[in-house]
């Protein structure tokens, strides 16, 4: 590799050709401030439009200041990152940004996590000398995401995520100059756009321009209502990220503290979505084996590959983009919805509570789940199986509001019966986990043999698209894995073209899977955080006494007592769903 030598702030640095001034500076401990720049290293996610101009530096011989994030290093370059010219420009640029930004920081959803606020602090801005008109735009509220464009600083990270990474194309810049905003096409609301509610825009937004719909108030009200039995379920990826909100190291597993906190908050039954994840494996795994057996028996009408369906962002994506292929995904509901359906039937009956008096709350790393639980097909007589879905961040707020010292809580267990889970369900939280869990069960059911090794490490990792062939005792099963909807699109296009060699494909809308979900604590572009969360997921799995879904005793009991057989009639009614063509729902002329 060709190396380039340059001088930054009188220090010489040698770095590979093609690198930027920003990265060269970082290499020698010079942290040039950035705002629009964003990177998730190793995931091919990078935003460097060079638009905010916070990272400008002086390069000897160049007429204008240059953005460090987008300027390539050149041999002999002499860079100054903090002389008076640079500092003055940087400060003025920030003052300009602040002059067109609401000053309601005290009550902003992003307060404390706002990168603009931090920048103002870092640069020591104490007043805003350039006062003038502020650009305003209507607020847009969807089931999952709120757009408050007045707070947008045009960093375009959301646009990069939505278009380049997710290929959803719901957000892009419209209008010009001072009135330019990031908005759906024809300035429609998100609800009338192809938005999948994956929430990746929210997870990268530096300010409060994109935030989740906050349901914490609804929970407080429900918990205070004596006529309601409030049940909570928590998704696998929450327990490896929640601790970050309380100052813990990323990757700290806080399952026990979380259960304790939820109980202190007043939830009557503290359950685990992992239980429903095991149930998902029973249903989805059975469906996979069903299709596979038919295929092996020579049935040419059977649809393969089967696609996982537990990610609601992904479901929205294929409903919008692949309406011709609605019969390919598994019909199994997501774990959140399976849990709701069981809680409000099997469990409600068990404790003698009318479903109308039961409130099911889910704690999710996800924003699409907020939309999912409002879908009509997941309601019985207008009563939703899951009443409210909270993000990991919202749960943290709820805990803080209730004066609970999370860090000193003693570990507690989930309640029974919907709290028992296996290692297989925990790994739902990371990309590749669902299909690994499915393999653990499908292998044993299909071959009738015990797995020698439970870990399918070939299915793990953070590459955008991965593939592996699993030996089902002589039958090679081809598995594809994609995380990030752009990667998913690639695999789906292959399927559409009839060129896919896979028998099963796992898809997660968010890069990294649920650990990188739109409802997780903000990672601010630090890939190490995602890696640590992922490692924690597999650590939790390894520590579980039972690691295969079909061995979960409470799942077995559920089938014996209530459901009968996987993919049986009752299961079909309660645990499976169908999909809709949403390609026409994007309204262009309203």
Partner 1 sequence: MAKMKMHLLVCGGTGCHASQSEVILSNLKEIVREKGLDNEVQVIMTGCFGFCEKGPIVKVMPDNTFYTEVKPGDAREIVEEHVIKGRKVTRLLYTDPENKKHVSDSKHMGFYKKQLRIALRNCGFIDPENIDEYIARDGYEALGKVLEAKDPQQTIDIIKKSGLRGRGGGGFPTGLKWEITSKSQADQKYVVCNADEGDPGAFMDRSILEGDPHSVIEAMAIAGYAIGATKGLVYIRAEYPLAIERLKIAINQSREYGLLGTDIMGSGFDFDIELRYGAGAFVCGEETALIHSMEGNRGEPTFKPPFPSVSGYLGKPTNVNNVETFANIPVIINKGAEWFAAIGSEKSKGTKVFALAGKINNVGLIEVPMGITLREIIYEIGGGIKDGKKFKAVQTGGPSGGCLTDRHLDTPIDYDNLIAAGSMMGSGGMIVMDEDDCMVSIAKYYLDFTVEESCGKCTPCRIGNKRLYEILEKITQGKGTLEDLDKLKNLSNVIKDASLCGLGQTSPNPVLSTLDNFWDEYIEHVTVKKCRSNQCKALMQYIIDAEQCVGCTACARNCPVNAITGERKLAHLINQDICIKCGACMEKCKFNAISIK
The footprint of partner 1 (CB under 8 A) covers 49-54, 56, 64-65, 67, 70-72, 85, 88-89, 92-93, 96-97, 99-100, 129-130, 132-133, 153-154, 156, 172-173, 175-180
Task: Record the tokens describing residue 298, joined without a space.
Answer: 């020579």
Side-chain half-sphere of 53: how many Cα atoms within 13 Å? 14
What is the closest distance, in whole angstroms, from the C-beta atom of residue 84 to partner 1 in the complex?
A: 12
For partner 1, the closer CB: 53 or 489: 53
The alpha-carbon radius of gyration of the chain (Å, integer) is 25
Nearer to partner 1 by C-beta: 132 or 247? 132
CA distances from 201 to 205, 210, 239 (A): 6, 7, 23
Residue 556, classed as helix, strand or coil, is helix
Min separation Cβ 134 and partner 1, Å: 10
Nearest approach in angstroms of CB 313 to partner 1 is: 25
Nearer to partner 1, 78 or 475 (CB): 78
Cβ partners under 8 Å of residue 448, min gap 6: none
Please give the full DSSP string across 338-350, using - where no structure is assigned: HHHHHIIIIIHHH
CA dist 515 and 531 (Å) reads 9
The least CB distance from residue 88 to partner 1, in Å, is 7
Q: What gap in Å lies between CA 547 and CA 162, rounded to an integer?
A: 36
CB of 188: closest distance to partner 1 in angstroms? 17
Strand duo 358-364 + 229-234: pairing = parallel
Q: Least distance from C-beta 586 to partner 1, angstroms?
A: 19
> Taking the chain, what is the end-to-end CA distance rounded to the nearest angstrom?
55
Least distance (Å) from partner 1 to the CB of residue 418? 49
Q: DSSP letters of 384-438?
A: ESS-EEEEHHHHHHHHHHTT--GGGPPP-PPPSSTT---HHHHGGGSTTHHHHHH
Positions marked active-site: 284, 287, 310, 330, 369, 372, 377, 514
Are 162 and 204 in contact by the 8 Å Cβ rule? The answer is no
* Encoded tokens for 352: 């003698």
> Of 11 and 85, which has the nearer Cβ to partner 1?
85
Structure tokens at 60: 């000897």
CA separation for the pair 139, 159 (Å, rounded) = 18
Q: What is the 3-state secondary structure (H, E, C) of 96-149?
A: HHHHCCCCCHHHCCCCCCCHHHHHHHHCCCCCCCCCCCCCCCCCEECCCEEECH
CB atoms within 10 A of CB 381: 6
* Coil vs helix vs strand at 576: strand
Between 59 and 279, name the residue whose CB sits nearer to partner 1.
59
Identity of the residue, 67 or 566, whose beta carbon is nearer to partner 1 in the bound complex: 67
**Nearest-approach distance from CB 9 to partner 1, in angstroms:** 19
Instruction: Specify the 3-state DSSP secondary structure of 168.
Output: coil
Based on CB atoms, which residue is closest to partner 1, 67 or 480? 67
Shortest Cβ 50–partner 1 spacing (Å): 4
- Quick one: which H or E segment has residue 359? strand 358-364
CA dist., res. 32 & res. 69, Å (int):
9
Least separation in angstroms between CB 490 and partner 1: 19
CA-angle at 279, arms to 277 and 280, nearest 5°: 60
Specify the residue, 90 or 466, whose C-beta has the smaller distance to partner 1: 90
Cβ-based neighbour number of residue 565 at 10 Å: 11
Q: Which of 506, 561, 558 is nearest to 285 (CA)?
A: 506
Beta carbon nearer to partner 1, 164 or 463: 164
Min separation Cβ 70 and partner 1, Å: 4
Which is nearer to partner 1, 92 or 401 (by Cβ)? 92
Count CB atoms within 10 A of the CB of residue 450.
9
Q: Is the Cβ–Cβ distance between 101 and 153 less than 8 Å?
A: yes
Is the separation of the CB atoms in 423 and 541 below 8 Å? yes
Lay out the sheet containing 78-80: strands in order across: 11-16, 3-8, 78-80, 56-59, 66-67
Specify the residue, 165 or 386, whose C-beta has the smaller distance to partner 1: 165
């Amino acid at each position: 590799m060709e190396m380039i030598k340059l001088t930054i702030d009188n220090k010489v640095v040698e770095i590979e050709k093609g690198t930027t001034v920003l990265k060269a500076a970082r290499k020698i401990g010079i942290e040039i401030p950035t705002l629009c720049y964003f990177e998730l290293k190793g995931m091919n996610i990078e935003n460097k439009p060079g638009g905010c101009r916070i990272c400008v530096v002086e390069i000897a011989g160049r007429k204008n200041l240059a953005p460090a994030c987008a300027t390539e290093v050149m041999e002999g370059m002499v860079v100054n990152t903090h002389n008076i010219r640079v500092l003055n420009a940087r400060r003025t640029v920030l003052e300009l940004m602040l002059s067109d930004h609401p000053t309601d920081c005290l009550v902003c959803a992003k307060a404390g996590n706002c990168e603009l606020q931090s920048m103002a602090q870092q640069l020591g801005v104490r007043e805003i000398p350039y006062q003038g008109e502020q650009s305003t735009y209507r607020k847009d509220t969807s089931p999952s995401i709120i757009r408050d464009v007045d707070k947008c600083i045009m960093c375009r990270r959301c646009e990069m995520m939505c278009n380049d990474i997710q290929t959803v194309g719901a957000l892009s810049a419209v209008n010009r100059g001072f009135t330019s905003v990031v908005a759906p096409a024809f300035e429609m609301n998100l609800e009338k756009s192809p938005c999948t509610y994956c929430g990746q825009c929210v997870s990268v937004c530096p300010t409060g321009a994109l935030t989740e719909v906050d349901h914490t108030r609804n929970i407080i009200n429900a918990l205070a209502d004596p006529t309601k039995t409030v049940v909570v379920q928590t998704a696998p990826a929450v327990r490896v990220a929640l601790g970050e909100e309380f100052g813990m190291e990323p990757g700290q597993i806080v399952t026990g503290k979380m259960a304790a906190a939820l109980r202190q908050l007043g939830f009557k039954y503290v359950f685990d979505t992992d239980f429903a994840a095991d149930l998902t494996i029973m249903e989805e795994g059975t469906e996979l084996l069903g299709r596979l057996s038919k295929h092996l028996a020579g049935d040419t009408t059977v649809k393969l590959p089967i696609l996982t369906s537990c990610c609601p962002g992904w479901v929205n994506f294929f409903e919008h983009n692949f309406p011709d292929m609605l019969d390919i995904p598994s019909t199994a509901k997501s774990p959140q919805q399976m849990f709701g359906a069981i809680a409000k039937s099997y469990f409600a009956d068990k404790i003698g509570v009318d479903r109308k008096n039961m409130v099911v709350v889910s704690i999710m790393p996800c924003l699409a789940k907020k939309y999912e639980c409002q879908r009509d097909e997941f309601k019985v007589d207008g009563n939703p199986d899951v009443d409210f879905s909270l993000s990991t961040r919202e749960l943290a707020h709820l805990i803080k509001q209730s004066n609970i010292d999370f860090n000193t809580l003693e570990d507690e267990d989930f309640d029974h019966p919907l709290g028992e889970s296996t290692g297989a369900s925990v790994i739902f939280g990371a990309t590749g986990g669902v299909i690994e869990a499915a393999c653990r069960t499908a292998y044993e059911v299909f071959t009738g043999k015990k797995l020698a090794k439970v870990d399918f490490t070939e299915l793990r990792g953070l590459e955008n698209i991965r593939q592996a062939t699993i030996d089902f005792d002589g039958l090679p099963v081809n598995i594809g894995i994609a995380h990030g909807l752009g990667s998913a699109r690639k695999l789906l296009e292959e399927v559409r073209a009839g060129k896919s060699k896979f028998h099963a494909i796992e898809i997660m809308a968010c890069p990294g899977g649920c650990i990188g979900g739109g409802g997780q604590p903000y990672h601010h572009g630090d890939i190490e955080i995602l890696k640590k969360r992922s490692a924690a997921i597999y650590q939790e799995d390894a520590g579980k006494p039972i690691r295969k879904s079909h061995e979960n005793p409470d799942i077995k009991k559920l089938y014996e007592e209530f459901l009968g057989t996987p993919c049986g009639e009752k299961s079909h009614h309660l645990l499976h769903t169908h999909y809709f063509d949403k390609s026409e729902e994007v309204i262009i002329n309203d």
